[in-house]
């Protein structure tokens, strides 16, 4: 609100104020997310009951499952950004897609790593070419390739168009990874929610404390974690855009 007798804020001051307001919001959201993740770890350790057949290692399943949900949301942002860019040609949507794919990759690495660590004492191996594990690995590699390939294209317009189409098509690997334990009867990967395949090994029945802990993790990793990580990534990409623009201006002067 402008006080009587004072000049209205200039557009640049207004923009600066909006940026600092967004920064404050992001920092607040980051702190809330960190606390929420910490509370989740406490719930996993002290609230959820111990699985008698697996011992404490079962507790990392909450993060294992929730990080996959987070990756799904982040990769979904890649699809939204890709479709919106192809429709509008606004580079901001490509930035959203890039952030989504990169954050999704980080979260799917968490999912793969925690799964592998859980598998060692339960399946007696770090890795096996089970349909679910293979599809999860293909998914992560597909998105790693997205980051490498888009960096290899010089023309910004071509890069954005290619990356948009790629991000949309790559989501098929997420869908396959999600449904494969329901459609392949030979998988040994247990389904945490719903019925597992007859061949599944290492499944467990969710008690009420386990269900509440899993639901809490799912909400935190589905909403807060991808949102905050993608927001930070978008900020870095916006700064990179400013550097590219400044570089072009300096080259023109020179």
Partner 1 sequence: MTTPETTAFMLFGFAVTFGILGVWGVMLAARWRSLRHDLEVLETLEREDG
Q: How far is the CB of 7 from partner 1 (least distance, A)?
A: 26
Question: Nearest-CA neighbor of 90 among 160, 148, 39?
Answer: 160
Nearer to partner 1, 69 or 168 (CB): 69
Q: How far is the CB of 142 from partner 1 (least distance, A)?
A: 18
Question: Nearest-CA neighbor of 60 among 77, 72, 48, 71?
Answer: 48
Number of Cα atoms under 13 Å in the Cβ half of residue 22: 11
Task: Report the alpha-carbon distance of residue 248 to residue 254 in Å, rounded.
Answer: 10
Q: Does 41 bind partner 1 (CB under 8 A)?
A: yes
Task: Report the alpha-carbon distance of residue 242 to residue 177 in Å, rounded.
Answer: 37
Q: Does 53 bind partner 1 (CB under 8 A)?
A: yes
The interface region with partner 1, picked from 138-146, 195-203, 208-216, 233-241 by CB under 8 A, is 233-241
Q: Does 121 bind partner 1 (CB under 8 A)?
A: yes
Q: How far is the CB of 247 from partner 1 (least distance, A)?
A: 6
Q: Which residues pair with 55 in a beta bridge?
A: 51
**103 neighbors 226 (Cβ within 8 angstroms):** yes
Q: How far is the CB of 218 from partner 1 (least distance, A)?
A: 15
Which position among 25, 56, 90, 172 is part of the footprint of partner 1 (CB under 8 A)? Answer: 56
Q: Does 232 bind partner 1 (CB under 8 A)?
A: yes
Cβ burial of 159 (10 Å; 0-12, 13-18, 19+) is middle
User: How many residues interact with partner 1 (rule CB under 8 A)?
Assistant: 39
Give the footprint of partner 1 on residues 99-118 (CB under 8 A).
106, 109-110, 113-114, 117-118
Nearer to partner 1, 8 or 254 (CB): 254
Alpha helices in 5-155 (DSSP H): 11-42, 61-88, 91-123, 131-151
**215 neighbors 223 (Cβ within 8 angstroms):** no
Residue 46: helix, strand or coil by DSSP?
Answer: helix
Q: Which residues pair with 51 in a beta bridge?
A: 55
Nearer to partner 1, 168 or 227 (CB): 227
The interface region with partner 1, picked from 9-17, 159-167, 205-213, 241-249 by CB under 8 A, is 241-249
Interaction site with partner 1 (CB under 8 A):
41, 50-60, 63-64, 67, 106, 109-110, 113-114, 117-118, 120-121, 229, 232-233, 235-236, 239-240, 242-243, 246-247, 249-250, 253-254
């Amino acid at each position: 609100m402008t006080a009587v007798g004072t000049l209205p804020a200039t557009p640049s001051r207004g923009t600066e104020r909006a940026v600092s307001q967004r920064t404050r919001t992001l920092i607040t959201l980051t702190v809330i997310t960190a606390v929420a993740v910490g509370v989740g770890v406490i719930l996993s350790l002290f609230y959820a009951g111990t699985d008698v057949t697996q011992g404490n290692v079962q507790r990392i399943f909450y993060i294992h499952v929730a990080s996959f949900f987070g990756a799904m949301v982040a990769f979904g942002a890649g699809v939204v950004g890709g479709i919106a860019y192809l429709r509008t040609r606004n580079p901001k949507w490509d930035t959203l897609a890039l952030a989504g794919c990169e954050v999704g990759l980080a979260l799917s690495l968490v999912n793969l790593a925690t799964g592998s660590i859980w598998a060692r004492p339960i399946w007696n191996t770090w890795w096996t070419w089970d349909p679910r594990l293979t599809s999860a690995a293909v998914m992560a590699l597909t998105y790693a390739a997205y980051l490498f390939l888009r960096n290899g294209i010089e023309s910004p317009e071509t890069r954005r168009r290619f990356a948009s189409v790629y991000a949309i098509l790559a989501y098929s690997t997420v869908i396959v990874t999600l449904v494969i334990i329901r459609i392949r009867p030979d998988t040994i990967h247990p389904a945490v929610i719903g019925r597992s395949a007859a061949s599944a090994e290492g499944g467990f029945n969710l008690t009420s404390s386990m269900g509440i802990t899993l639901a809490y993790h799912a909400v935190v990793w589905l909403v807060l974690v991808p949102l905050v990580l993608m927001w930070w990534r978008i900020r870095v990409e916006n700064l990179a855009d400013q550097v590219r623009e400044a570089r072009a201006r300096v080259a023109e002067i020179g």
